Amino acid sequence: MRVIVDLNRCQSYGQCVFAAPEVFRFRGAESLEYDHVPAAEFDRAVERAALACPVQAITLGRHTEAVTEAVADADAVAVEVR
């Protein structure tokens, strides 16, 4: 499964962290981090996290090879920008 969080919409309520701590976590007080393509064993927890988000900031999609490569490319670009 592919996970995308709209960090502009996220209000750091932390419901996703409680629902799926293996996938969502806070770095510091309010900076949300998450796995873009978590292991399939966490699919149910990720679905619960998306439903629990009070501002509907979490979007779920199907995991494909192309998506995995696109996420890896985006992460690489993000690292280069920093």
3-class DSSP assignment, residue 25 = strand
Q: Does 3 bind ligand SF4 (CB under 6 A)?
A: no
Q: How far is the CB of 41 from ligand SF4 (least distance, A)?
A: 20
Near ligand SF4 in 10-69, by CB under 6 A: 10-16, 32, 53, 55, 57-58
Residue 16 and residue 6: Cα distance in Å, rounded?
Answer: 13
Number of residues that bind ligand SF4 (CB under 6 A): 13
Q: Which residues have CB under 8 Å from 29's CB, separation 6+?
A: 12
Which positions touch ligand SF4 (CB under 6 A)?
5, 10-16, 32, 53, 55, 57-58
